[in-house]
């Protein structure tokens, strides 16, 4: 049954995250920085706001780093150690391998993100926040992070060097994060296109409490496209 194999891969990868320091370090850095952003916003003398906007807007730039760090080893290490040979000669489809590994990285990322819910608890304890924007912001963060993980998994399939994989995916994610800045330099349809392509532009509605279907489709498409590219990268190994 395909799903059983996918889940077996996901479970194995999730367990292996816990025996290496990378998951702990990434979670610690993510939670610490978002915590700093939260405290920084709450201690503002000007106009403290009972919302999560204060840290979600800045957190997406951390996610552009968290994605590559969590995914860099997933396929690069298999290639370096040679375990990819056993994985790809067992009766498992390439997409099952990719999906299993993606689910594992999503589990770790989701857990780190869940830790930040403690800030929401504080908001409710000491303020009267609007639940809607908080929910949409977390949906947005989750989709943004999942997109970053998909990019990272794709670049991890391209090389046996984890550092190269991380740098490649960080480059792609940086480009997709700041590409809307290039929209200022052009006009018309191209400007619209570059704006629509930007992960930051697509994130804005989520922070405003709007669950924009177009933005959801953007992130889901991004995940599907990069996972598909990762599958093709594995297939390409057989033919090169």
Residues that bind other proteins (CB under 8 A): 1, 4-5, 8-9, 12, 16, 19-20, 81-93, 238-240
Q: Percentages helix, strand, coil for the chain, rounded to the nearest 5?
A: 85, 0, 15
- Please state the closest distance from residue 80 (CB atom) to other proteins, in A: 10
- In this complex, which beta carbon is closest to other proteins, that of residue 16 or of residue 195? 16
- In this complex, which beta carbon is closest to other proteins, that of residue 214 or of residue 240? 240
- Please state the closest distance from residue 112 (CB atom) to other proteins, in A: 21
- Please state the closest distance from residue 66 (CB atom) to other proteins, in A: 22
Residues 152/229, Cβ–Cβ less than 8 Å? no
Q: In degrees rounded to 5, what are phi and psi of residue 20?
A: -115, 155
- Please state the closest distance from residue 19 (CB atom) to other proteins, in A: 5
Residue 189's Cβ-count burial label (10 Å; 0-12, 13-18, 19+) is: exposed
- In this complex, which beta carbon is closest to other proteins, that of residue 4 or of residue 214? 4
Residues 112/31, Cβ–Cβ less than 8 Å? yes
- In this complex, which beta carbon is closest to other proteins, that of residue 90 or of residue 185? 90
């Amino acid at each position: 049954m395909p799903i059983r194999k996918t889940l077996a891969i996901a479970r194995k990868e999730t367990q292996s995250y816990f025996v290496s320091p990378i998951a702990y370090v990434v979670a610690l850095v993510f939670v610490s920085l978002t915590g700093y952003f939260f405290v920084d916003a709450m201690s503002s003398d000007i106009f403290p706001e009972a919302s999560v906007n204060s840290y979600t807007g800045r957190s997406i730039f951390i996610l552009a780093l968290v994605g590559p760090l969590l995914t860099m080893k997933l396929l690069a290490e298999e290639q370096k150690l040679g375990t990819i040979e056993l994985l790809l000669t067992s009766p498992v489809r390439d997409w099952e391998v990719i999906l299993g590994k993606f689910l594992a990285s999503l589990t770790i990322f989701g857990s780190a993100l869940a830790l930040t819910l403690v800030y929401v608890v504080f908001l409710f304890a000491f303020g009267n926040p609007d639940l809607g924007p908080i929910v949409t912001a977390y949906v947005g963060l989750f989709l943004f992070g999942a997109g970053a993980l998909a990019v990272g998994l794709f670049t991890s399939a391209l090389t046996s060097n984890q550092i190269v994989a991380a740098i490649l995916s960080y480059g792609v994610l940086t480009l997709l994060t700041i590409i809307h800045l290039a929209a200022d330099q052009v006009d018309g349809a191209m400007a619209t296109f570059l704006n629509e392509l930007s992960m930051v532009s697509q994130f804005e509605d989520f922070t405003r409490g709007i669950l924009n279907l177009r933005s959801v489709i953007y992130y889901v498409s991004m995940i599907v496209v990069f996972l598909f590219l990762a599958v093709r990268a594995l297939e390409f190994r057989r033919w090169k």
